[in-house]
Each structure stands twice: as structure tokens, then as C-alpha cells.
Structure 1
């Protein structure tokens, strides 16, 4: 069996340990009927990569991580109809399958789209996972549209998802967008992305009260632990919160008196559960690509590491683990 280069985790070691991510050889994946085989040119690192890596025990088979990629289609499965060999694509993949930190990856065509023609592979790789998460949060969970009104508060507006969500909300909905940021460079970043106002998410109630004194109708949260009582103060009665984090034992009771709705968003739900609308992810990535090529949405890549190896990916994981990155960290060939 032919093998290719990949970067894999063999144990949940600290990223400072050179063995935390290692260069390995893995078999070229066999294609399922709806799979395309992609030669991966660039990937970005997300918090989910760190979460999965640090949660591993000893692995008998190397675990290839990576859930953001841009590359070129090398082969297609027998049932593939939407893509052809040679096309440049982008996608976030499926957390239940081997990831994108490899030369060749098999991925279902229904969660893959042609990448924006105006972006390099590295610039494109910054966007798929965060774009899917932001899109599903806004349009599937919160049901927003061009005629929507009110104020949307985006916590961690300079983060990976927040950076896309601010742009999509401004481009495709009628809501006022206020973004949370803590550092001067984060404030400048979200203002450049189009946020109508910026608040300090480290002092949520007081700071958000300055830019939205009457409260907000909508709130996006990547950091919910310890914040629910604050959410109950800043979100108006009958408002909505959409959260993407994994807080253990979260108590939502403080939201009850205001009848505030809580929505979970996980962009892997469709591929993991093979939902009937699986191809929605391909469609929405196509919509985002069109927005990018029209100049309405920009890449969120801020750090590019030209070293597609274990060393390069360890550095990317290290940066993401700090929790202080603005935008996205990309590793490319």
C-alpha cells in the first residue's frame, strides 16, 4: 500500500514536548463513493485541534488531526458529481475521520466547495471551519436574514469564529453588531472587520452596557463558563444566545426569568450524524467563497507558517493554546 507524509499525535502530550506531534507515514486513504481525494496545500489550527490532541491517551494508530484545509482534487469516488480532478477546494472535514494534516486526505464531496479564486491556499485555509460555524450560528440557529433588526453582541470578536461572524452579520443581515475585544490590536481588528461598536468582554456587563444600554437581542458566545449570569443581565427578555464551547455542568437557570433561548452550535453535527441536509455545508462554503471573491468577506489569516511538518504544526498549536491570537494561524507548504 502506498503511503504519504502526515503529522500525527500519538499521545496527549504538552505541545512543548517534541513528541506531541510527530512526522509519520500513513496509508493513502481509500475513497468512499462520495469522497474526493485532496492534495492538501494548507491547513489552519483551531481550538478543536488543541482539545482533541490534549484529550488523547496513548494511540496504537497515529491520530492525524486537522479540520481546515485548502488543496487540489486528485481523485474522485464513483458517486461524486459536484467536483472534478484538478479543482481547487476548501473544507473543514469530519471530526470522526482522519484530518487534514497530511499530504492526501479523503473527504465527502458534500462538505467540500471550490475555494475562492482570489485567495491563495494559505489564505483560504483560514476560513472553512470558522465560516461554517459562523454561518450556522447566524442563519440556522438564530434564523437571521436581511430584514433582521436588533443588536448582536459577539464575544471574542477577534477570534477565529468571531472574525467571520462579524463580517457575515454585517454583510447579510440588518442587525447592529457590537464585538467584544480586550487588547488594542483586537479592537482595531474588529473595527476593521465592520463592527459597529466594540466593548471589553473582560468587563461584560458594564462595558456592553455602554454600547448597548438597553441590552441586546442576540449574543454569540465562545466562552460561556462563568458568564451565564452576566448573559441574563445583558440579553433582553425573549432574546437568544448561541454558544459553541463545551462548559461542563453549565447552569442555564438564570436565563429563565427572561425566557432567553439557548442554542448550541457544532459545525460537525451534519457530517458526524450524516444528516439529510449534509450538502448544506458545501452550499454555504460556496456562498462564502462568492462573498470573498466579491470583496465582501476577507481572509482572517494573520500568521502563516511556511513549514508543513510536525515542527510547524507544533508552533501553530502553541500559538493557539495561548488563547491570545487575533484571527487565524495557518500552516502551508
Structure 2
């Protein structure tokens, strides 16, 4: 049961059946304020960031479909649902939200409080908005799926080390485990970014097997892979026996049989699983984001914001989508509100 908040707000609505470069792919609309479920917060949005999930959802929308996208945000609590006890009006928060509901590219956004963390002190809204989705993804891959801890040793390979997930995964692995960390990156700026964020070595993904074996002749124990399609044979060659692969993408075709001889374990990582199915442990997102805030405040990890666009508008959202689609982004693209 949703409680009406009343009034209207501004939202940027994505239009299905149109590429990101289309002038009408994103339209400004006056929308009703979102209703609040008992466990919801109503958040005034101050900053959002762009992620591949935004472009993928847009691409899947059919002609005539429309929706508000955006799955990272930092803002202030404006109202709370009847069953919320963890937050108060005026608190600064950050979160990634839920793909089954409208996104954050709007003046206000309703989100389940169990998915929300307190914003790290010392960060701007823009710096905070860069973190939630990618941090949850990297954390679940490293610590939930791989089962890593401060005592863990071995070698981790992070593909796309300068990307959004890579940028935070390198920091978490380097600061919270004893792993040796290898990242893939090819351009000078992406190589420099990966090294600055914790990579011990950077290799070129264009010849993955040769490059990885040069850095790790015995192979790698863990592979964090935003891109798996076409890489399975390479993974089979560079993984050690009983190694592990965490896959973040949704390949159109997948044959993991080459991994069988080495008994390599395959993990699917989808940070939206908890909110999509409203699992009993949904509050894990809140605890994880609160822990991230502590790590940021202690100087253990830092924001991955690299590019700031002023305004959450049709133009800035289009530009952010096109940058993400280019596959050449370094760090995260953040849009700051000027409502």
C-alpha cells in the first residue's frame, strides 16, 4: 500500500525504440510525486551517476515505452514511510535503488530504506553518488561470492580496471585482503587510473592470455569480469585449478564448458537481486553502504568520480549514456542537480 505524497516533480523520461543519440531519446516531463510504501524514504536528489545498467535498460525498451532511469543517487531525506525507524528527515543518504521501480533521474525519488546508507562525511553529493552501485557489485563479488577476507592470498584479475566496478574493486581488494591485484587497461589514462586505485600490475586485454601469463606465470585465482563474451577460452587458460570467475554482464551466448577441466567455479553477480526479489536480507545493502562510508571516512577507499556534468537534464543524460556506450570511460560520470 502506497501513501500519496502529493504535488508534482520534474523527471527525465527515457523513450523506448530510440538510440541514445536521438534528440527525443530523453524528454523532460512533469510527473506526479512518487507514492511512499511503508518502508520507503522520499529523497530529494542532489546527484546521480551513470552506469551500464541505464544504457542496457534503455536499449531493451520497446517503441512507445517510457520510464525514468537512474540507479545511483545521493540526496536528502524529505519524508519517511510509516515503518521506517532508521532515518530522519534531513539526513544525507546514498544508494543504488531497485530496477523494478522508477529511477533517480528526477527531483524526488522513493526508495526502500533497507537499500539506503548514510552518506560518507567529507564527500560532496557528487562524490558520494559515484559509489553505491559499483561498490555493492564489487563487494558482493569479492566478499560474498569469492569469500575473501583480510587473510586471503593469491592473485585477482580485474578486467576493465579503470571502469566503474574496476575502480572500486581494486581499492577493496588491495586494502581489505592480501591479494596480488592485476588489472586490464590499454590506454595511458586508463592504465594510470588503475595503478592509482590499487592495481599492482596492469596488462593489456587485447592479448589477455599472453599478458596475464607474463604477470602471473602460474595463473590467477580469481577473475572479476564485466565482459565475458568471447573470453571463455582465455579464462580457462589463465585460471588456476579450482579458481573462480565472477561475471557481471549478460552475454548473448555463453559456454562455460572450457572451465570444467580445472573445476573453475562460475559466479553470477547481480547487485539488484536482493531488491528485485525482496529477499529477507535486503538490509545487507544498507549495512554495506554504511561500512563503505566508514572506509571512506577512514581514508581507506575514495570516490571513483572522474567526470562531473552540471544539471540532470536531457542533454547531460544523453551525453552520459553515449560516454558509457563508448566503452572508454574512466571512473564514474556524475550528474549534479540544479533543480
After TM superposition, the score normalised by the length of structure 2 is: 0.97
Report what 1:6 is aligned to.
Answer: 11
- Is 1:97 paired with 2:101? yes
CA distance in 1, matches of 2:99, 2:72: 11
Report what 2:72 is aligned to.
Answer: 68
- Is 1:55 paired with 2:60? yes
What displacement does 1:21 show?
0.7
What displacement does 1:59 show?
3.6
Identify which of 139, 145, 148 aligns with 1:141.
145
- Is 1:153 paired with 2:157? yes
- Is 1:28 paired with 2:33? yes
CA distance in 2, matches of 1:265, 1:37: 28
* Matching of residues 149-228 of structure 1 within 5 Å: 149-228=153-232
Q: Deviations over 1:43-97 (max 9, x none)?
A: 001000000111111345x400000000000000000011110000000000000
Identify which of 290, 294, 300 aligns with 2:294.
290
* Matching of residues 301-320 of structure 1 within 5 Å: 301-320=305-324
What displacement does 1:9 show?
1.0
Structure 1 counterpart SS, 2:261: helix
Report what 1:241 is aligned to.
Answer: 245
What displacement does 1:319 show?
1.0
Report what 1:117 is aligned to.
Answer: 121
Identify which of 253, 258, 271 aligns with 2:257.
253
CA distance in 1, matches of 2:67, 2:218: 48
CA distance in 2, matches of 1:12, 1:287: 40
CA distance in 1, matches of 2:170, 2:286: 21
What displacement does 1:180 show?
0.8
Q: Deviations over 1:13-33 (max 9, x none)?
A: 111111001111111011001
Which blocks of at least 5 consecutive residues in structure 2 are unaligned?
Answer: 1-5
Cα RMSD for the two superposed structures? 0.9
Report what 2:3 is aligned to.
Answer: none
CA distance in 2, matches of 1:133, 1:16: 28
After TM superposition, the score normalised by the length of structure 1 is: 0.98
* Matching of residues 27-46 of structure 1 within 5 Å: 27-46=32-51
- Is 1:321 paired with 2:305? no
CA distance in 1, matches of 2:291, 2:140: 13
What displacement does 1:321 show?
1.0
CA distance in 2, matches of 1:59, 1:290: 44
- Is 1:15 paired with 2:20? yes
What displacement does 1:249 show?
2.3
Is the Cα contact below 8 Å between 2:17 and 2:64 reproduced in 1?
Answer: no
Structure 2 counterpart SS, 1:206: helix
Which blocks of at least 5 consecutive residues in structure 1 are unaligned?
Answer: none
Which ranges of 4 or more aligned residues in structure 1 deviate by more than 4 Å? none
Aligned residues: 332
CA distance in 2, matches of 1:37, 1:93: 12
Structure 1 counterpart SS, 2:10: strand
CA distance in 2, matches of 1:124, 1:323: 23
Structure 1 counterpart SS, 2:260: helix
CA distance in 2, matches of 1:82, 1:174: 34
CA distance in 2, matches of 1:197, 1:191: 7
